[in-house]
Amino acid sequence: MNPSLFVVRRALISAGLFSAAFVAGFFINGNVRTLAAPTATAEQTGAPSARSVRDGVETWSGQISDSICGAKHEEAAEGQGKMADRDCTLSCVRGGSKYVLVAEGKVLQISNQDFKDLETHAGHKVKMTGEMKGSSILVSKIEMQ
């Protein structure tokens, strides 16, 4: 590889502007190749993302709902109109449904149904923090969005 190309490659990787795999694609057999620019992640741009992970603890943005309705609350009874999301969620949970988090169109199960803030924030858009244990979230914190 041309020594000047090696210096450019190391500088790009060291500056954290590109991954080593991306930079390696530019320098094939000592020749510079043209590639599409990488897509920036939410962390790089500062844009909010629906899910973030730190030391096994994850944070999701979504709405607390119930396992019967999931992402869509229907009309409560014929001719009665649609209930507010909060009222519907609480009513369904009283009827035996479980709390869930709807994030990015996915319905995520919650393992600790007795977590104190689930009822407080039923139907609300929240930021939920916890750990994914198997296929359900073990909630440790809920904040309003």
Predicted pLDDT at 73: 82
Domain ranges, ordered by start, for the chain: 3-38, 51-144
Q: How many helices (H) and strands (E) does the chain have?
A: 5, 8
Query: pLDDT at position 56, please?
Result: 81
pLDDT (mean) for 60-64: 98
Q: pLDDT for 15-43, tens place per residue? A: 555 544 444 444 444 444 444 444 444 44
Split at pLDDT 50, 70, 90, the class of 74 is confident
Q: Has residue 69 got a pLDDT over 70?
A: yes
Q: Are 145 and 103 in contact (CB under 8 A)?
A: no
State the pLDDT at residue 46. 46
pTM (2 decimals)?
Answer: 0.62
**Dist. CA 137–CA 130, nearest whole Å:** 6
Task: For residue 128, count CB atoms less than 10 angstroms from its CB and return exposed for 0-12, middle for 13-18, buried for 19 or more.
Answer: buried
